[in-house]
Amino acid sequence: MLLNRLPGLIRDWKLDLVVVNGENAAGGFGITEAIYHDFIDAGADAITLGNHSWDQKEALVFIERAPRLIRPLNYPAGTPGRGAAMIEAKNGARALVVNLMGRIFMDPLDDPFAAIDRELIACPLERGADAVVVDMHCEATSEKQAMGCFLDGRASLVVGTHTHVPTADHRVLPGGTAFVTDVGMTGDYDSIIGMAKDEPLGRFLRKIPSSKFEPANGPATLAGIAVETDDGSGLAVRTGAVRLGGRLEEARPAFWA
C-alpha cells in the first residue's frame, strides 16, 4: 500500500517531507535493508523505528549505513545508529526528525523527556531547523499526550505511534505544535493490530501459542497525518488525518483534497 500510493501523494499533494514509521515493515517485526531502500525509493525522507527496531538482526549492522533510518533517541549510549537526523526536505528546508520511545508498559529506556530536551536545546526549531518532527513511540496514551504538551511550541509535529489504532484527536496545540495521540497503522484492519486474527485470538482464549503471528493480507488502509507549517516559525498552521483505501472510512486533509 505504501509503495503503491506514496509517489502519487508526493506528486499530487506537493509533499516536502515524508516520515514513515517502519518498525513493523518486515511482516510485523522490524525492518530489513531492502525494505528501507524500497521506502526511500518510493519517496520517504526518513524512517523511524521503535520497540521492534532490532527484530531483524541485520538492522544492528545496516543502520550504520542508513542515514535516514532513526531508532529511539533514548536508547543507552553505544546503541547502533542514531536517534535524530537532520534531513534535507524536498524543498531544501532542514527538518530535524527525532524518534523517542516511552517507558510506561515498555522497555525501561532512558528518560525520553530529558533526551528530547537536550536535543532541542542543541538544535531549536527556527534557529537550528526549519521543522522538527517527533515520533513518540509508546503504549500509554497519557505518555504520548504528555510529550505533546512538553514540546508544544518547540516542535512542528509530535505524532504518537505503536498501538496501531488511529485516534481522532489530531489538532494544533495552543503553542503551535501539531499533535495526534496515535497515527494508526498502514495495513489490513480486519485483523488484530495487523495480524491474522486466529492466532492472537487463540492466545487470548487459551493462553497457549499454536503458531507464529502472520500479517493479515486483506485490503490495506494507508494511515497518516498531514501537517502544513509556517515558513518562518516552523510551527504548524493546520493538520488533518489521512486514511486511504482498505476498510476504514477514508479521510483526507481538507487543505490538500
Distances (CA, A) of 98 to 1, 47, 50, 137, 240: 25, 10, 11, 11, 21
Q: Could you give the CA distance from residue 8 to residue 2 in angstroms, rounded to a whole number?
A: 10
The helix (H) or strand (E) run that includes residue 36 is helix 33-42
198: which residues sit within 8 A by CB, 6+ positions away?
none
Handedness of CA 184, 188, 191, 196 (dihedral sign): negative
Q: Would you state the cell numbers that stand for residue 110, as one nine-digit string?
A: 532512558
Q: Is 52 a catalytic residue?
A: yes
* 111 three-class SS: coil
Q: Which of 52, 137, 164, 170 is catalytic?
A: 52
Kindly give, in sequence order, each residue whose CB lies less than 8 Å from that of residue 11, ignoring residues fewer than 6 positions away: none
How many Å separate Cα 9 from the centre of its chain?
Answer: 17
Catalytic residues: 52
